[in-house]
Amino acid sequence: MTDTKKNLVGLSRDELKAEMVIAGEKPFRAKQVWHWVYHQGETDFAKMTTLSKDAREKLAQNYVVARPQVAENLLSEDKSRKWLLRLDDGNEVEMVFIPEDDRGAVCVSSQVGCTLTCKFCNTGTQRLVRNLSCEEIVGQFMIARDTYGEWPTPTGERLLSNIVLMGMGEPLYNAEEVVKAMKIVMDGEGIALSKRRITLSTAGVVPEIIRCGEELGVNLAVSLHAANDALRNQIMPINKKYPLDQLMDACRNYPGANNARRITFEYVMLKDINDSLDDAKELVKLIEGLPCKFNLIPFNGWPGVAYECSSGNAMHRFSNYLNDAGYSAPIRVSRGRDIMAACGQLKSESERKRKAS
């Protein structure tokens, strides 16, 4: 029955107003419903007590407040968590939570699968691709809040303090829905997450980078992974479309990319591929004059992949060189190894299991 009812999650404020009118309610009801859905996290219309009883019943007849279904929910021994989420059409995406001491980042997916086919990425091997809807993107973060009981939206400290758009998919190939979803998440009368606490990670969809800065003003992370076009073409095919000079231009022009809000360059450490001292030198030349920081990611292997993670020595040498050149370049601590937290791993495993049974 419920699947004939429209989900209110993912509607913009204007769309929600329009639905209230369709339902025969006054448009101002939208403000109240918004509060219940995004501030209180309420899913049951009957409990939305600021609405008249009549309005509650009417809404319940025509609408739902729903999230994607949680197919798996795995807690790592290091306290990171991974959810496998099942969408209405049966497709699956992953979401991860990476807690620090008193805060943490929820890593959200933007697509089912990914079209980029980066050679080191497991998601790139998964064929089926579609964009996630705004409803499904916002729904992910709401599931994280459900799991940790972080409703209503806390006024002070939060455990789920950040969103990183670093899950499956390329967010800037789904910019429309991602922008809409982040606007809902940033709305001060709902989930109320500040743009400073949102980071969008892109492989370098140059035309959309500026738009992301102008419309959202969130932090930008760029998956660089190589300091020259020859290597980057090889490991990230998107570089053939948007080569490094264009990508660097977009980064230099990113609104607010000053010292206060520096761009992060992600760099996956691949043994004997991109981890030499010469690579580090070339990298420093490439980003000259651009206020930025690095995030060195130890490569996370998966079955059938041709790469290995760099040695600890190589990673430290690389990190030290960047530090000496004046850049922050921590080596990311790998989390959730026991729950297959690397991009795309859990979904691939779930598909394998289904084929086997």
Is 93 a residue that touches ligand SAH (CB under 6 A)? no
Q: Is the peptide bond before 152 cis (omega within 30 degrees of 0)?
A: yes
C-beta closer to ligand SAH: residue 203 or 247:
203
Shortest Cβ 170–ligand SAH spacing (Å):
4
Catalytic residue check, 343:
yes
Q: Which of residues 231-270 bind ligand SAH (CB under 6 A)?
A: 266, 268
Which of 299, 327, 329, 341 forms a contact with ligand SAH (CB under 6 A)?
299
Catalytic residue among 107, 114, 121, 343: 343
Shortest Cβ 173–ligand SAH spacing (Å):
8
Catalytic residue among 25, 94, 135, 208: 94
The C-alpha torsion from 271 through 171 and 249 to 118, rounded to 10°, is: 30
Which of 132, 163, 175, 342 forms a contact with ligand SAH (CB under 6 A)?
342
Residue span binding ligand SAH (CB under 6 A) among the ranges 54-62, 65-73, 82-90, 296-304 = 296-304
* Phi-psi sector, 208: left (phi>0), alpha (psi -120 to 50), beta: alpha
Is 348 a residue that touches ligand SAH (CB under 6 A)? no
Is 223 a residue that touches ligand SAH (CB under 6 A)? yes
C-beta closer to ligand SAH: residue 25 or 92:
92
DSSP type of residue 85: E
Catalytic residue check, 94:
yes
**How far, in Å, CA of 318 to CA of 280, rounded?**
6
CA 326 vs. chain centroid, Å, equals 28
The C-alpha torsion from 11 through 37 and 200 to 208, rounded to 10°, is: 10
C-beta closer to ligand SAH: residue 37 or 198:
198
CB proximity list for 100: less than 8 A, separation 6 or greater: none
Q: Do residues 177 and 130 lie in contact, with contact meaning Cβ atoms separated by under 8 Å?
A: no
Size of the site for ligand SAH (CB under 6 A): 17
Is 297 a residue that touches ligand SAH (CB under 6 A)? yes
| Burial classification of residue 260, based on how many CB atoms lie within 10 Å of its CB (0-12 exposed, 13-18 middle, 19 or more buried) | exposed
Residue span binding ligand SAH (CB under 6 A) among the ranges 46-54, 72-80, 183-191, 201-209 = 201-209
Shortest Cβ 171–ligand SAH spacing (Å):
6
Which of 42, 136, 170, 208 forms a contact with ligand SAH (CB under 6 A)?
170
Q: Which of residues 110-169 bind ligand SAH (CB under 6 A)?
A: 118, 120-122, 166
Is 201 a residue that touches ligand SAH (CB under 6 A)? yes
Where do we find the tokens 């690397």? 342
Shortest Cβ 325–ligand SAH spacing (Å):
21
Give the count of beta carbons closer than 10 Å to the beta carbon of residue 138: 27
**How far, in Å, CA of 355 to CA of 285, rounded?**
48
Give the count of beta carbons closer than 10 Å to the beta carbon of residue 256: 15
Shortest Cβ 93–ligand SAH spacing (Å):
12
Is 212 a residue that touches ligand SAH (CB under 6 A)? no
Give the count of beta carbons closer than 10 Å to the beta carbon of residue 47: 11
C-beta closer to ligand SAH: residue 19 or 275:
275
CB proximity list for 123: less than 8 A, separation 6 or greater: 113, 114, 168, 169, 343, 344, 347
Q: What are the residue numbers of the active site?
A: 94, 343
Give residues in contact with ligand SAH (CB under 6 A). 118, 120-122, 166, 170, 201-203, 223, 266, 268, 297, 299-300, 342-343
